[in-house]
Amino acid sequence: MPSYLDLGVIAIVLISAILAMLRGFTREVLAIASWVAAAAAGYYLRDYLTPYLKPYISKEPGLSIAAATIIFFVALIVVSIITVNLSDAILDSKVGALDRSLGFLFGVARGFLLCVIGYVFFSMLDPVDRQPVWMREAKTRPLLESVGKDITAMLPDMTALVPRDVMNKFSKPKPEDAGGTPSDKPDAGNPEPSAPDADSPVPLPPSRNGGGDNGGKEP
């Protein structure tokens, strides 16, 4: 009997596949491409809009963020209109059946990828030994876990995206981590006196009469 995880994976994959089949492969791919194109437009064209926004937003990074956001949404609307008209024309053509079939396969892959991402995030929050029984005994768990490990292994090191000055700020050791507080360290100019050696003779105090070792008597 399938567990709750198996039923959830099947439901997500089927819903994604049916939606992609109705929309068509071309529309699904162009939808992703439109988001990428809009993001690129907002990033590279934001400097052309910032002079018009300076009277309203004078400080950075708010000025650049506002300009990039406006360009992103405008570009997304324009590109989406073009992609919808193009995909509808393809669906009504002779290759419409092939486009829907490819869309179904695309939806299956997309739905399974969403399940893998969800499983990976859930495993980060809750280790395998603490997961519920319906999740540990699911038939799809080994496949989700295997694909999730392969995907995470291909991801780049996210620390490379962090600015170097920020990394140095967090990686710089604190004074207490470097061997105690400054008050606990001996002063280099006033070193602490060392303990006398056990084998060295102890000097005797001088005589009160001013003499040496003979107690003030003449030889």
Q: How far apart are CA 157 and CA 161, in angstroms?
A: 8
pLDDT tens-place string over residues 82-123: 988 888 888 888 888 899 999 999 999 999 999 999 888 888
Cα distances (angstroms) measured from residue 5 to each of 13, 46, 118, 122, 171? 12, 44, 11, 12, 41
Please indicate whether residue 193 or residue 87 has the higher confidence score (pLDDT).
87
Map out the domains of the chain as residue ranges. 4-176
Q: How far apart are CA 121 and CA 143, in angstroms?
A: 15
Longest CA span, the chain: 134
